[in-house]
Amino acid sequence: MGDGYIVSSYRKTLPLARIAELEAWTAADSRGLVVLPSTELTDTDVHVATVRRGLSCKALDVDELAEFRESWFRQYLGGG
């Protein structure tokens, strides 16, 4: 995984409405973001990871994902 990127994996069986919600979140700010389905996720809806940190959500929460992304970029860019 390259430094500065966020890889987001979502449960392949996630309902289409939830995938659409994830797509909208991605489209709103896709900088450094890679999103892909996963057959390995079974007990969580989504897992996001950087080279240094990760977050798993049992239920998709785009606000929490947004906070993870913003926090990561502040840290990555040296702002906290």
Distances (CA, A) of 63 to 2, 3, 24, 34: 24, 23, 12, 17
Give domain status of residue 80, yes or no: no
Q: What is the pLDDT of residue 17?
A: 96
The residues of the chain scoring below 50 in pLDDT are 1
Residue 79, domain member (yes or no): no
CATH code: domain of residue 24: 3.40.30
Note whether residue 12 is domain-resident. yes
Cβ neighbours of residue 55 under 8 Å, at least 6 residues apart?
A: 47, 48, 49, 64, 65, 68
Phi-psi region of 78 (alpha: psi -120 to 50; beta: other; left: phi over 0): left
Query: Any bridge partners for residue 54, and if so which?
Result: 49
Q: Is residue 1 part of a domain?
A: no
Tell me what pLDDT residue 19 has: 95
Number of domains composing the chain: 1
Is position 70 within any domain? yes
Q: What pLDDT, on the 0 to 100 scale, is given for residue 20?
A: 95
* 51 assigned to some structural domain: yes
Structural domain of residue 61, as residue ranges? 6-74
